[in-house]
Amino acid sequence: MHWIILIVAGLFEALFATCLGMANQTKGKESVLWLIGFLVSLTISMVLLYIATQKLPIGTAYAMWTGIGAVTTAIIGILIFKEPATFWRLFFIATLIASVVGLKAVSH
């Protein structure tokens, strides 16, 4: 169950990063709403990370949380923010995914 909580926490990490990107691209009330979304997503992500670390080793949990967030944010950047999808960028995203899977595989 704590692994699922950690995955959801990582997805909320990507959401708060996405909200920051959207806040930078908007103005006025819309920007403020994105910043509120950032704060809500940040809070949820941190609380879920805290819950996950009650049963999972902090080093593994933090690395996985960061990896899940980084991979998801990079994919969102490519799909939503039209960031480049070069071979090397996709290659290193794939190595991040392999690292997250590997951490899960070797963790007890």
Query: To the nearest whole number, what is the mean pLDDT of the chain?
Result: 95
- Where helices occur in the chain by DSSP H, the ranges are 2-25, 28-52, 58-79, 87-106
Q: From 2, 20, 18, 1, select the one nearest 60 (Cα to Cα).
A: 2
Percent of the chain with pLDDT over 90: 93
Average pLDDT over residues 83-106: 93
- pLDDT at position 107: 80
Determine the longest span between alpha carbons in the chain, in angstroms: 48
pTM here is 0.89
Per-residue pLDDT, 76? 95
Residues 20-61 have pLDDT tens digits of 999 999 999 999 999 999 999 999 999 999 999 999 999 999
Band of residue 1 on the pLDDT scale cut at 50, 70, 90? very high
| Residue type at position 79 | L
